[in-house]
Amino acid sequence: MALVAGIDSSTQSCKVVVRDADTGELVREGRASHPDGTEVAPAAWWDALQEAIAQAGGLDDVEAVAVGGQQHGMVCLDESGEVVRDALLWNDTRSAGAATELIRELGGPSAWTDAVGSVPVASLTVTKLRWLRDNEPENAARTAAVCLPHDWLTWRLAGSPGLEALATDRGDASGTGYWSPATGDYRRDLLERALGHDAVLPRVLGPRESAGTLAGSSALLGAGSGDNAAAALGLGAAQGDVVVSLGTSGVACAIADAPSADASGLVAGFADATGRFLPLVCTLNAARVLDGAARLLGVDHAELSRLALSVPAGAGGLVLVPYLEGERTPDLPNATGSLHGLTLETMTPAFLARAAVEGLLCGLADGIDALTAQGAVIERVLLIGGGAKSEAVRRTAPAVFGRPVVVPPAGEYVADGAARQAVWVLSGADEPPVWAREGTESYDAEATPAVRERYAEARGKILDKVG
Ligand X SMILES: Nc1ncnc2c1ncn2[C@@H]1O[C@H](COP(=O)(O)OP(=O)(O)O)[C@@H](O)[C@H]1O
Ligand Y SMILES: O=C(CO)[C@@H](O)[C@H](O)COP(=O)(O)O
Binders of ligand X among 357-396, rule CB under 6 A?
A: 385-387, 389-390
**Helix locations, 22-124, DSSP H:** 42-55, 96-106, 109-116
If residue 6 lies in a helix (H) or strand (E), which one and from where to where? strand 3-9
Q: Which residues pair with 384 in a beta bridge?
A: 245
- Does position 30 interact with ligand X (CB under 6 A)? The reply is no
Q: Which of residues 95, 118, 127, 228 is near ligand Y by CB under 6 A?
A: 228
- Which position among 86, 151, 227, 262 bears the catalytic label? 227
Q: Which amino acid is at 252?
A: A
DSSP 329: T
Task: Annotate each residue in 174-193 with x if it binds ligand Y (CB under 6 A) or - if it does not, as one string.
Answer: -x------------------
Positive/negative CA dihedral, 62, 65, 70, 75: positive
* Smaller CB separation from ligand Y, 144 or 356: 356
Active site residue 227: yes
- Does position 260 interact with ligand Y (CB under 6 A)? The reply is no
DSSP 233: H
- Does position 226 interact with ligand X (CB under 6 A)? The reply is no
Q: Which of residues 249, 285, 329, 338 is near ligand Y by CB under 6 A?
A: 249
- Does position 288 interact with ligand X (CB under 6 A)? The reply is yes
Beta strands 220-222 and 185-186: pairing type?
unpaired
Binders of ligand Y among 92-131, rule CB under 6 A?
A: 123
**Cα 159 off chain centre by:** 26
- Does position 71 interact with ligand X (CB under 6 A)? The reply is no
Residue 330 interacting entry, from ligand Y, ligand X, none, C-beta within 5 to 8 Å by type: none
Task: Tell the burial category of 137 from Cβ atoms under 10 Å away from its Cβ (0-12, 13-18, 19+).
Answer: exposed
- Does position 248 interact with ligand X (CB under 6 A)? The reply is yes
Pairwise CA distance, residues 457 & 465, whole Å: 15
Q: Which of residues 63, 151, 169, 227 is near ligand Y by CB under 6 A?
A: 227
Beta carbons within 8 Å of 188's beta carbon, 6+ residues apart? 178, 198, 201
Residue 165 contacts residue 223 (beta carbons within 8 Å): no
Minimum distance of ligand Y from residue 72's CB (angstroms): 5
- Does position 325 interact with ligand Y (CB under 6 A)? The reply is no
Applying CB under 6 A, what is the total number of residues that bind ligand X? 16
- Does position 68 interact with ligand X (CB under 6 A)? The reply is no
DSSP 433: P
| 421 annotated as a binding-site residue | no
* Smaller CB separation from ligand X, 248 or 374: 248
Task: Tell the burial category of 312 from Cβ atoms under 10 Å away from its Cβ (0-12, 13-18, 19+).
Answer: exposed
DSSP string, 112-157: HHHHHSS---TTSHHHHHHHHHHH-HHHHHH--EEE-HHHHHHHHH
Judged by CB under 6 A, the stretch of 124-132, 284-292, 309-317, 459-467 that binds ligand X is 284-292
Residue 291 interacting entry, from ligand Y, ligand X, none, C-beta within 5 to 8 Å by type: ligand X
Pairwise CA distance, residues 295 & 21, whole Å: 41
Judged by CB under 6 A, the stretch of 9-17, 47-55, 90-98, 263-271 that binds ligand X is 9-17
Residue 288 interacting entry, from ligand Y, ligand X, none, C-beta within 5 to 8 Å by type: ligand X
- Does position 247 interact with ligand Y (CB under 6 A)? The reply is yes
Task: Annotate each residue in 331-370 with x if it binds ligand Y (CB under 6 A) or - if it does not, as one string.
Answer: ----------------------------------------
Say how many CA atoms lie within 13 Å of 21 toward its Cβ. 19
**Cα 457 off chain centre by:** 28
Judged by CB under 6 A, the stretch of 5-13, 110-118, 188-196, 369-377 that binds ligand X is 5-13
* Smaller CB separation from ligand Y, 10 or 305: 10
Minimum distance of ligand Y from residue 326's CB (angstroms): 13
If residue 421 lies in a helix (H) or strand (E), which one and from where to where? helix 413-427
**Interface positions with ligand Y (CB under 6 A):** 10-11, 70-72, 90, 123, 175, 226-228, 247-249, 251, 280, 282
Interface residues with ligand X (CB under 6 A)? 10-13, 247-248, 287-288, 290-291, 301, 385-387, 389-390
Tell me the binding residues: 71-72
Active site members: 227
